[in-house]
Each structure stands twice: as structure tokens, then as C-alpha cells.
Amino acid sequence: MTRSAPPRHLLVIAPQCPDQGLLTGLEEAGESLHAVFLDEELGGCEPSPPGVASLLCGLSVGRAEIDQSVRDAADRAGAAEAVLVLAFLGHGTTLGQTPKLAFMASDSQEDVATSVVDVGGLLTLALDVPGVRGVIALVDTCRAGGAVPDLGGLAGGVRQGATSLSLLMSGSAVESAHGLAYTRTLVRVLRDGLPGAGMFLSPQDVQEAVDKEAGTSSQLLTLIGLSLDARPWFAHNARHRAGGALLGPLGEEDLRLALDPLGDAVPALPIVTSGDLARLRRTLAALDRHPATADQHLAHALRTLDRLATAVRTREFLLSSWPGSLPESERIRRAYVTAAGRPACASDGDELLRDCVESLCLRVPRTKGSPTAPLAAFVAALAVEDGLAAGTPGLTRWARGIGAGVELVDAFAAQVRRAAESRLRLVVSLHSAMADEWPETLLVWLLDGETLVGREDFRCPPTQAGVEQRLGAVLAWATRQARCTGFRLRRIDIAAPSALLACWRPEEARLGQRLGLHYDIVLRWSDRLNLPAHLGLINEFARNQLDEMNDGPAVPVNWLDRAELSAVQKLVESLENGCYDGALALRHRPERLQELLEPLLAYAPMVLWPDDTGDLPQASQDSVERNWAKLPREFSAAYRNSWKQGDPVDEHTDLARVRSVWLDEQWLDFCDAFANDSVDGENPR
């Protein structure tokens, strides 16, 4: 797991000093600088704790308040092992001939040493607080160059010089400043970003860009006495693109559709950086009932831009500030399925991340309540795989930044519920059956993940009715065992020979109510527990197949038509030669399905077929492909809905016409445990 960047704490101080004359626009400059540093895409600073101000500006900011606020901010940064970002804007002077900055508070008086703020002294104090990961300071005053701290004192201080400072001063200790031009230009540079400067802007990048645009000659003092994970950075670069184009095909399409109705009211603007998105939104927000603009079109365009900005911010967060391991493509696909309930697109790498995030921001919310809930579910799924908690600072900062704080907590809670529901698994095996006969014994295991909770054999009459009736006793036993774990049993794996799988629907077994009303049932091929000699390596080959499916198309299904099914020997040879990758699905149910299932199940990880004679409707084939990422569990939901005689055009009505036998890593692990530890059928593990 990669180490996350330290948090950044902020304090901007911009007092008016009546004794030296009020500065026009000081409050506005302070607020703008404060906002840009709090912007997670730019300054990346955390909001201050409740009741603590991170912006002090105006006519009531006295010397004592400034002094105490800086000390308190340094203590909080030290406790949090944070970088402290400080800014001093306003009047500055020197006392006598000493080239030392005297910062003027609201109650400061010229030439009264006890009434002014010693910026250099405050910086010295802040730098020497244990735990502070560095100080980044901006001073925009007259005589700003006099704000240099006591470097000699730091070497002999508590930390003995093990500290880091980046101090940007708008001028020298003898220069005047005019109209806060330095701060105004700096804010503009941070909002627009710098082409070619990389993901982060260094203090030197900012100094050079501001001096060039404002015509100033600022000073930069850098002190690196603390070993950090990375060099200090001043701000995120708004013009940095996190790999590939800023917007993917879906984002570009939705933006074009949103802007088209506005016509000439919106100027043509290439969207290359997040700064371009922000400028376009400001342009739209400034439209005040333009003749060519209908209010609903403008509102839709603003919503689209907000969602695109959220997508870009999330992508940058996952690529540059994610507190866990950088997510690879397969993890991204799994998280997308969790959040969207459907497979991800066919792209890979950075493009896959971009396309998934855009889809969650722009398309999935149309069928959800909160527009940020799907994105929160996606991030939570990635976080759970990394072992991150909902309160991890980086996660909470991201969630607050996009207005999804509650949604993120809800997403973590949903992950916990899903994990609890899927922990327990009851395996009922009919592998002792001979040919197409029903068995006289059911072998049963209750598993908590891979841990064996209980194991039992149940004698039963060798008929379908006898087996189904005995399932009641099996469930009563399993429920008692499950109660001891504190979790509910919701999942049953039923393993049977191919002849029984072709004709049996165990979810329809009536135990008061149908078994499948309360349990998700997955059918397995029991022959994988006791492989015949000529198929001895198929379980190992199956692992390779599953790996290839994970790296292959989102819907790895091969649909077989009548002609392919009628030439059984040719089909088997093709399977043996590896001509089919992924699952096999039958468009037509042959009359002697049981004779075909066994060779198919030996070579394909999943086999699907129509539940009734004849051809499978095209709508059912489409439903399989749409729901592939949620299978096989979604089959159980479809069967339940079909029994309740729901809407005939419901998605589940089409899916319920399909039967399946499933193979996954979990079942292969169980088969291996059975083979390695229990050749005579004793407990695996």
C-alpha cells in the first residue's frame, strides 16, 4: 500500500489597518486565496474544524488574535502531522533601520513595536512544532522580504532544523507592494494552471509564473531540513491531465448534447483541462436569461458540467491521492459492477477508470436517487478491497468535496451488509447419485468463507420428492449452525450430476414455501468433486479459463445454435481444442439435453440453456448479456419475480427463462479441498 500524502491545514490572515489606510479589495483577495487553497483540485487543504476560522480578514483582526491563531494552527498541524499553509496579506512595514517585516493588524500603530505582528518570529515558532510536516507561506505586503524566519534559531531549536519551509514573498525587504496585485495574479495562475508543469506546481513554478504575468520580482526561500516522501508542492496543476484525454467519449457526448440547445450563447471552447471546465461553468453561470437560452437547458448544462467536474476530480483523486494501492483494471471492473450492476466498458487502464467514473457520474444517476450514490459505491468498493475505513482522511476529504459525505457512509454500510449476507454458504451435494438416479445420501457442508462451520450426511429416499423433502431437515440443521456464527444463511450451492441438472429445479422445492423465495441457489456440477481419470486436469484448466474471462470481453458468452448442437462430436472436439473461450449458452434446448450437458460442463465454466423446449427468445438472450455481471445471483431474483406474476415486460421475466450451471473460483477451491482432504467424502478442511 502506498503512503498517502500528508494533510494540509490552512490559515489566511488579511487584516485591515486603519492606521495605515484601508486597502481596497483586501477582503476579496483574501477570500479568493482562501477558496483556491481549500479547493481539493487546487490547493488541497482541509476545511478547518467546527468553530475554528481559517480566514481572518477585515477590520477586527487584532495582533493578539493573529499571534494566537498561528500558534493554534501550528499545534493542530503538528498533532495531525500536516503541512501548514499560511498567508499574510495587507500592510507591512519595517521599524527603524531593521529590515524585518512588521505586519500590521487592525489594532497596529506605526512605529509602535508592541502593536505589530512579527511574521518571521511566528514562522520560526510554527516550523519548530513537532509533527508539522512543513510550512508553505505566502507574504504579500510592503517589505515582504523581511518575513524570513530565524534560520539559526531553528538549527538550535526543538527539532534542530529538521523542518521544511517554502516562503514566497511578493517583494524584497525594501520594496513596496501595490493593490495586492501579487495575490490576485497568484490566484489566477492557480485556477488556470500551467501547461507542461506536471501534476503539481512547485513553489518555484508559481513564483516564475506570477512574476512573469504580474511584472513583479518576488523572492522565494526554500528550506529542506526534513526528509519527506516528496518535495513540497504549492498546489495541484489545473492544466495537468491524468493520463489520456480529460473527457472520454461518453463525457464529450453528454457535454455536446447539453450545450447544443444554448447555441451561440456559449462560445466554442476546447475542454483540455479541469480549468477549462471551470471556466466554461463560470461562463454558463453568468448567462442571465440570454435570448437564446431556455432556463431548463441552462440548468441541464450546469448539472452536466458539475457531474463532469466530479468525474475529473474523482479520477485525479484515485490516480494521485488515493490512500490505498493504485487500483488496477480488474479491481476497477469489479468496483464498477458493484456500483452500476452491469459490466464495465471494454477499455483498459486509465481510459477504463475515466470511462467508468464518467458513466457513474452521468448515466447511472438517472436511475438512482442521489446523483453521487453510484460514485460513492464505486469508491467504497475500491476502499474495502484495500482495507480502508469510511473515516480514512483522504476518503472523507474527497466525499466532502463532491457533496457525497452521507452517500459514502451509506456505501460502506451496504458493503458490510453484502459481506454479511454472502459469508455463509451451504453446500448440498448429490454426487453419490448413480447415472440418472437420485441419491440415497445428501452430503452437506456449511462454510463461513473458507472456514468449515459444520458437516453432516442426511439419508433420504432415492427420489426427487425424497431429496426435496429431506432438504427441510438440512436447512433446519444449517440454520442452527448459522445462528452460532451470528450471520444469516442466504446462499445454497447445490451440486448434482448432469442428468439431474437437466431436469431438476431445486429452487422450486416446496418446504412450506418455495426454497428459492428465501435463498439464492446456485447449481454446480458435482462431477468436479470426483473427477474421472480422463478428465483429471479439467479443474486446473478451468482456473486458466476463468483468468482469461476476467481479462477478456465484459460478456464472455458463446451462443450455440441448432447446427452446432446437432454435431455433438465436432462440438466436443472444438471444446477440447480450446476453440471456445468463456461460457456456453444454448439458443435451443435439444430433446436429450442431459446427454449434451456432460461434455459441455467438462469444458466450459458456465453452461446456460432454455428452461423449456424450443428456442430461447432473443429478449432472454439480451437479458443474459445485460445482467452478466450480476449472474448467477440475479437468476434467483428473476425466478422469484416470475413466481409472483410480476410485470410481463419486466427484465426478470426474460431472464427467468434461462437455466444455468455455474463455475467460479470459490467452487474450484471447494473441489480442491474435497479432493485433497477427503477422498472418501470426509470433511474438507
Q: 615-637: per-residue pLDDT in tens?
A: 999 999 999 998 888 899 999 99
More confident residue, 424 or 366: 424
Asked if 334 and 378 count as a contact pair (C-beta separation under 8 A), the reply is: no
SS3 category, 454: strand
Q: Residue 680: what pLDDT? A: 41
The rounded distance, in Å, linking the Cα atoms of 46 and 53 is: 12
Q: Residue 2: what pLDDT? A: 33
Residues contacting residue 485 through CB under 8 Å, at least 6 positions apart: 423, 424, 448, 453
Q: 114-146: per-residue pLDDT in tens?
A: 999 999 999 999 999 999 999 999 999 999 999
What does R_g of the chain's alpha carbons equal in angstroms?
33
The rounded distance, in Å, linking the Cα atoms of 545 and 553 is: 13
8-state DSSP, 155:
H
Q: Which H, E and C letters describe 231-261, residue by residue?
A: CCCCEECCCCCCCCCCCCHHHHHHHHHHHHH
**Pairing status of strand 607-610 against strand 583-586:** parallel
Mean pLDDT of 267-288: 78
Beta strands in 50-163 (DSSP E): 55-58, 83-89, 92-94, 101-103, 117-118, 134-140
The rounded distance, in Å, linking the Cα atoms of 553 and 530 is: 31
Q: Residue 261: what pLDDT? A: 85
* The three cell numbers locating residue 258: 447539453
* The three cell numbers locating residue 668: 474450484
Q: 477-486: per-residue pLDDT in tens?
A: 999 999 888 8
The rounded distance, in Å, linking the Cα atoms of 14 and 91 is: 9
The rounded distance, in Å, linking the Cα atoms of 254 and 362 is: 8
Burial class (CB in 10 A: 0-12, 13-18, 19+), 178: exposed
The band of 370, judged by pLDDT with boundaries at 50, 70 and 90, is confident
The rounded distance, in Å, linking the Cα atoms of 589 and 500 is: 15
The rounded distance, in Å, linking the Cα atoms of 230 and 2 is: 13
Q: Residue 276: what pLDDT? A: 80
Residue 682 pLDDT exceeds 60: no
Q: What angle do CA 529, 533, 534 make, to 5 degrees?
A: 110
Q: What are phi and psi of 246, to 5 degrees?
A: -65, -45
The rounded distance, in Å, linking the Cα atoms of 529 and 671 is: 5
Residue 329 pLDDT exceeds 70: yes
Asked if 359 and 340 count as a contact pair (C-beta separation under 8 A), the reply is: yes
Q: Residue 248: what pLDDT? A: 85
* The three cell numbers locating residue 151: 534560520
Q: Which among 324-333, 354-363, 561-570, 641-650 has the top mean pLDDT?
A: 354-363
Mean pLDDT of 394-399: 91
Task: For 261-296, give one letter per residue: b (16+ CB within 10 A) or e.
Answer: bbeebbeeeebebbbbbbbbbeebeebeeeeebeee
The band of 683, judged by pLDDT with boundaries at 50, 70 and 90, is very low
The rounded distance, in Å, linking the Cα atoms of 443 and 438 is: 13
Rounded to the nearest 10°, the torsion over CA 315, 316, 319, 323 is -100
Q: Give the Å distances, CA to CA, from 68 to 9, 103, 116, 123, 146.
A: 16, 15, 13, 13, 21
Q: Residue 1: what pLDDT? A: 29
Q: Residue 169: what pLDDT? A: 96
Provide the residue count of the chain. Answer: 685
Q: 507-520: per-residue pLDDT in tens?
A: 999 998 999 999 99
Percentage, residues of the chain above pLDDT 70: 92
More confident residue, 302 or 199: 302
Mean pLDDT of 85-108: 93
Q: 176-198: per-residue pLDDT in tens?
A: 888 899 999 999 999 888 877 77
Query: Which residue(s) pair with 494 in the sheet?
Result: 428, 523
Mean pLDDT of 262-279: 76
Q: Residue 349: what pLDDT? A: 79
Contacts 24+ apart (CB under 8 A), 631-634: 631/660, 631/662, 632/522, 632/606, 632/660, 632/662, 633/520, 633/522
Burial class (CB in 10 A: 0-12, 13-18, 19+), 167: buried
Residue 613 pLDDT exceeds 90: no
Q: 5-58: per-residue pLDDT in tens?
A: 689 999 999 999 999 999 999 999 999 999 999 988 889 899 999 999 999 999
pTM to 2 decimal places: 0.56
**133-142, 548-557, 672-681 — which is least confidently predicted?**
672-681
Q: Residue 595: what pLDDT? A: 85
The band of 231, judged by pLDDT with boundaries at 50, 70 and 90, is low
Query: Which residue(s) pair with 584 in the sheet?
Result: 558, 607
The rounded distance, in Å, linking the Cα atoms of 608 and 588 is: 10
Mean pLDDT of 446-471: 93
